Chains A and B, each alone.
Chain A
Amino acid sequence: MKRLFCATLYRMWKSTGTRIAFLITYVAAILYFVLARMVAVGKLGVEQAGSVSGLGDAMIIWLSGSLVIGLLVGSDFENKTIHGAICFGRKKIIGNYVAVFAVLVALLALPYTIGSLACIFAGIDMTGAEQAAISVYLGNVLIYTKGASAGKLILSYLSYAMVYVGQLSICIPAAVKLKKPAAVTAFGFFLGMLSALLATLASKVEILDNIYKLTPYRYNMETLGIGGSYGDMLLAVAVSVVFAGLMGLLSWKLFCRAEIK
């Protein structure tokens, strides 16, 4: 399994598509904090904050994450490199997809984590950029006070990275079924927008809200930012792990007797 994991990471590292996804994410993260700061100091008008929020993690990680999962699974089928991995057994292949995917999503979230930590520890004031803050990362910068513990800050970031893994894990069975990187990316991005709409709807319909609470899609910056409770953060991690596990199980179910072309 370790050999499969390392070889898959190597394959992803060598993929042009993966490098583009990471480049987009890292550049977007830098721009996000720079532009949010410009909004905060008044160099950009508040009316621009909406556009700035489009570079936030909530949008970019869904986009690059679904591209990465499309490449991870889809290109394995397209290039037939899965022929070399099949001797490990189908169960291990799916387990490996989930594990590699979790690592890659955590790495995609890294520039936002570093950016917000840099702002916090350099004492960069973001007050005024609230409207660009549909992000737990910028949210933490906005509400950080010297009294907040570093431990809680780290837990906040870890739990949010895990929530992204949980949220995006729905793309794994889709990728196993669709087998085309572009189709998976489109599916993931559409789902990202749909989940935001469903969250709004769930807040108005109780039964939908109860279902929504069992998924990682309900977690946002209010519950996972440093203003939230430890209990919420741990619950978010647990829900995300269980959800990603279920998606892995569903993927295996789709894959266990599937034809590999």
Chain B
Amino acid sequence: MNELTSLTNLWSSNTAVSSLIWLAILITLLYLGRLQAHQVISSSFRMLHTSLRLWASSISQLINRLKQRNKEVLLAAGEAEVQTKIEREFNRISTIVQRDLSQYPAIHREIKSAIETIESDYQNCAETAPLPPAWGDVVATITALPSNGDPSVNKILENIKQSIDDAQAQSLSAYQKAGSNRHKALAKMQPDFRKLDDKMDVVKGKVDSLEERGQLIDQQMEEYLNIRAGEDKAASILATSSLTQFFIAGLVLTIAALGGLINFQLIAMPMSEMVGGTSYIGSVKTSDIAALVIILIEIAMGVFLLESLRITHLFPMIGSMDDKMRRRMMMISFSILFILAGIEASLAYMRDLLALDHEALQHALMSSNTDSNVNSNQVAGSSAEFRWIPSVGQMIMGFILPFALAFIAIPLESFIHALRTVLGLFAIALLRTLHLALRSSASLVTQVSKIIISFYDLIIMVPLSMESGFKKMSLKKANKNETSHLISETNQID
């Protein structure tokens, strides 16, 4: 401290005067080193600016690579999904063709048979009734001749007339019969027409179904081609779909986690009856860990069960197993799940018993006189008839929850698939923020360097002003000299 004071008062015993001298020296030094100082400041900040820009540029490249990678991941996932969909559609078409169109020859035969029947019936309808014999007109002319009262002629003519009448009656009868037959044939044609119509409807339905499937395949093929072409639109659609999947799966997983928590609460207390309530692993009760392990094993069994059913595809090894092995695995995981559900149901029942016992003890400890005991017994007695309801409820919950938790594999798979995309998007957002921050910092650094240089000049403004003044004066002097020189030259010329 003394050294500092002595240094301050080096030039004069008066601190102010000495300080002023120091200031003057400092300003002079700063003025003399102005150019170098400016260079140092500029180059340092330029270096910082350049490195920041370099970082920003690297991050920009990283963003592009990440975007590309995300797009590839999305397109690959989308391609696989659409492929599966198209395969499924083709399988459906194959099923339709095998199931429905394999019967087409039979339908065709039936249709043909119906058409033949109709044709035959139609031809039958076309047959006309037999005409009266051709000699009828001749006989009619003869019978129209005058008999002239000859009885034999009359008789002959009457016989002839009778014959003609009979022949006409027979013709009429035949005609009526033929008409009736035609009507019958036409009436018979009606069910054949209906049958034909039905068969045609069946054929139409099947063909329409195939057409619908075909249209769906067309749409999916278009989507598939877009994905294959790597179009941004397809990637954008897939990203949106992935985000939706992420949130939906996340929501379902949250619900499942809450279910797991309830399940945990259901079995944690009775677990202490099995593994003891005083042992700890770290700072967590062993009974709690045991309960948690049971729940996690249930989830694992659920995952294996759904994997072996080929509903989820988290473990490709299980999916690629042969059917016999897969069925075995399915049976084993289901059996373990069933046994664990049974254990949980019994634990839930035990929890209820323990809670009752604890409640009774607490009541006994809290009640200080006999009257209150009597009252409490009465209360307990009145509610005892309904005590079985929560017991049964807890048991059912204990049995059902493991199976409900088993289905966690489905949202888990969706979540994992979507997580890759979401993490990619998140990383891009993070990198973009960093990129922006670096670019802003680079600009800021440039501005700061300018401010520092200006501030430097502000400190040495007195010598700078003097320099400027001298420069102006010398310039003015030079101008004046030049002007006078020019005037003298002009005068000489004149």
Q: Do A and B bind each other?
A: no
Question: Which residues of B does A touch, CB under 8 Å?
Answer: none
